[in-house]
Chain A
């Protein structure tokens, strides 16, 4: 029986670690679903968890590269706060005076500023690490303190709110979604793209005469992939928008509300951003030279150097990318709360590192996947939301998450030893 299952997994060619993580996720969902009388498995909860995961997950994809190159970034939570505060002040205090309140360019300028600011701060840290060879742990520990302090100076500690209405859509909420129709269109597009890519890869492999999976296995994987995507869209499209928000939207768009009318959320914009980042970062990791050099450097820095890879510049780029992703995460986090106070992003660095590590990124460098980190973030958020919804108080939540983190890494170490990698 066990052999048969193993055989099946081999034939399908799925990574055992991926299966393990999905298994853990399903267990968490089922357990909390049971203890909340199904409330945890409602479309509403899935929608909320997906939105709450986005910010940390976006940063976790960048943390994978940082950790794969044998570095660490402890500054992302503070950097998120610093960027969030600066960009909030920009759209609350500066841009309305220059462009006029509610000007259509405000959100674009704010978003670009956030990403640029992150990239520059990250590149600077990367330069100190790569060229001045100060250990990443120290440089980013310094950044952790500096950004948190700098954040206060931006507004003398004043909370900035409310943010630009368009900018706010990037954080989700009733308005910040694709809506029903667009969500379906997106789902169909994503499903077709996934199946298309699998077909393409199969054709390339057989053109080179390599072994390919049996037709049934490939077909099963395609059905599963497309099914999961459409299922996700279906769940998001089953969460009705509350009456109050509907009235607000209808008023804003000048639509007459009739009694029986129901609108549904659909896929939230931050989740869409996360999906785009995940696909983009996966392509970078697996299909670009830059990605290849990241893994090579993590596996053997000396060998990478001897192969002509400029590992110092690579460090700068990796940290710049981490910073840019922190900028994106900061947009999502501040837009979701529609306000930035001095606590924004506190402890996020630990959540991000934990997500990457739970997702199978090895702190010794060289190993880690983007999808793993995203699932890791989802596992952490599910645990936390689940515990909150059954009334576990915050200190105990932290204790549980702490244990889970250590346990997950131990399982990973055992798995690696067994698999001989």
Chain B
């Protein structure tokens, strides 16, 4: 692994909502073919941090470097142009549209006349869903008619379809059954092998220990620390999350 230039380098990012410092001068980075877990209690600022990378929020300050070059990400379209794809915690699906329309939302396939090509999009959607969730059959219904897990599969498919180089997964398996969760784990391994960098937000320590190379822990908007997963135990991680203490240190940093 080329440790020299990180794929993503977020430096000193901060943002406040009203008086709340949702992200308070946090720096994280990500290398190609690496999975970095983002951990922390509810409201720690994980989603907010990655939403700055995906262009949903504009940071109050801090810099983002992609492949060593300073990147300006002002909106989701900018992020997509850097091949950053995101699975949002809220899934960000338009409930009234079908799976294919959601998958291609903002990047519709068009015919020679410039009109949207629903048939081609459905055909593509069938292909990718066949790979991710072969049981998925509801292509004609609006996604409001899908189960939580099926909706999550659609959101995952959207993020993987467009050849992401940087993938952000905000609790991607929260609504999935054991079998589907297993498939997402395999998907992560496979994408990692292809050299894609992944930020994985999860509350499941076991998942993090199994899938991630490094873990960054946040508490109250601040970064507690980043550790190599192979150097720490479950309890070390829990200590970081709950007490804000780095492994081997006695006093909380946050």
A303 with B120: CB separation less than 8 A: no
B101 with A421: CB separation less than 8 A: no
Q: Out of B90, B93, B96, B114, name the residue touching A367 (CB < 8 Å).
A: B96
A280-313 toward B: CB 8 Å interface, digit per residue (1/0)?
0001000111011101111110111111110000
Is B105 interfacial (CB 8 A cutoff)? Answer: yes
A208 with B120: CB separation less than 8 A: yes
- When distances are taken between beta carbons in the complex, the residues of chain B under 8 Å from A293 are 106
Known: A299-B97, A302-B92, A309-B106. A205 touches B76 (CB 8 A): no
Residue of A208, A293, A296, A303 ringed by the most chain B CB atoms within 10 A: A303
Is B63 interfacial (CB 8 A cutoff)? Answer: no
- When distances are taken between beta carbons in the complex, the residues of chain B under 8 Å from A216 are none
Q: State how many angstroms separate the Cβ of B95 from the closest Cβ of chain A.
A: 5
Q: State how many angstroms separate the Cβ of A396 from the closest Cβ of chain B.
A: 38
Is A417 interfacial (CB 8 A cutoff)? Answer: no
Bound complex: CA A306 to CA B91 (Å) = 10
Closest partner residue, chain B, to A283 (CB atom): B115
Q: State how many angstroms separate the Cβ of B121 from the closest Cβ of chain A.
A: 10
- When distances are taken between beta carbons in the complex, the residues of chain A under 8 Å from B108 are 289, 292
Is B88 interfacial (CB 8 A cutoff)? Answer: yes
A304 with B94: CB separation less than 8 A: yes
A180-208 toward B: CB 8 Å interface, digit per residue (1/0)?
00000000000000000000000011011
Bound complex: CA A228 to CA B100 (Å) = 33
On chain B, the number of residues with a Cβ less than 8 Å from chain A's Cβ atoms is 33
On chain A, the number of residues with a Cβ less than 8 Å from chain B's Cβ atoms is 31
Q: State how many angstroms separate the Cβ of A155 from the closest Cβ of chain B.
A: 43
Bound complex: CA A367 to CA B96 (Å) = 7
Q: Out of A288, A306, A421, name the residue touching B56 (CB < 8 Å).
A: A306
Bound complex: CA A297 to CA B123 (Å) = 24
A303 with B145: CB separation less than 8 A: no
A210 with B105: CB separation less than 8 A: no
Bound complex: CA A283 to CA B88 (Å) = 32
Closest partner residue, chain A, to B113 (CB atom): A287
- When distances are taken between beta carbons in the complex, the residues of chain B under 8 Å from A302 are 90, 92
Bound complex: CA A300 to CA B143 (Å) = 12
Is B77 interfacial (CB 8 A cutoff)? Answer: yes
Bound complex: CA A287 to CA B117 (Å) = 8
Bound complex: CA A64 to CA B29 (Å) = 46
Known: A208-B120, A308-B80. A299 touches B96 (CB 8 A): yes
B101-121 toward A: CB 8 Å interface, digit per residue (1/0)?
110011110100011100110
A289 with B116: CB separation less than 8 A: yes
Q: Out of B91, B97, B115, name the residue touching A287 (CB < 8 Å).
A: B115
Is A270 interfacial (CB 8 A cutoff)? Answer: no
Q: Out of A308, A366, A421, name the residue touching B145 (CB < 8 Å).
A: A421
Is B122 interfacial (CB 8 A cutoff)? Answer: yes
- When distances are taken between beta carbons in the complex, the residues of chain A under 8 Å from B91 are 303
Is A420 interfacial (CB 8 A cutoff)? Answer: yes
Is B142 interfacial (CB 8 A cutoff)? Answer: yes
B54 with A306: CB separation less than 8 A: yes
- When distances are taken between beta carbons in the complex, the residues of chain A under 8 Å from B107 are 308
Closest partner residue, chain B, to A309 (CB atom): B106
B75 with A295: CB separation less than 8 A: no
- When distances are taken between beta carbons in the complex, the residues of chain A under 8 Å from B142 are 421
Known: A303-B93, A306-B88. A296 touches B101 (CB 8 A): yes
- When distances are taken between beta carbons in the complex, the residues of chain B under 8 Å from A297 are 94
Q: State how many angstroms separate the Cβ of A320 from the closest Cβ of chain B.
A: 20
A208 with B119: CB separation less than 8 A: yes
Is B163 interfacial (CB 8 A cutoff)? Answer: no
A307 with B95: CB separation less than 8 A: no
Q: Out of B93, B116, B123, B145, name the residue touching A300 (CB < 8 Å).
A: B93
Bound complex: CA A322 to CA B155 (Å) = 33
A295 with B97: CB separation less than 8 A: yes
- When distances are taken between beta carbons in the complex, the residues of chain A under 8 Å from B120 are 208
- When distances are taken between beta carbons in the complex, the residues of chain B under 8 Å from A292 are 97, 101, 105, 108, 116
Q: Out of A207, A209, A287, A298, name the residue touching B96 (CB < 8 Å).
A: A298
Is B190 interfacial (CB 8 A cutoff)? Answer: no
Bound complex: CA A126 to CA B127 (Å) = 40
Bound complex: CA A60 to CA B86 (Å) = 38
Q: Out of A291, A304, A421, name the residue touching B105 (CB < 8 Å).
A: A304
19 extra interface residue pairs, beta carbon distance < 8 Å, beyond A208-B120, A300-B95: A204-B119, A210-B119, A210-B122, A289-B110, A291-B116, A293-B106, A295-B97, A303-B91, A303-B93, A303-B94, A304-B105, A306-B54, A306-B56, A307-B106, A308-B76, A308-B77, A366-B94, A366-B95, A421-B144
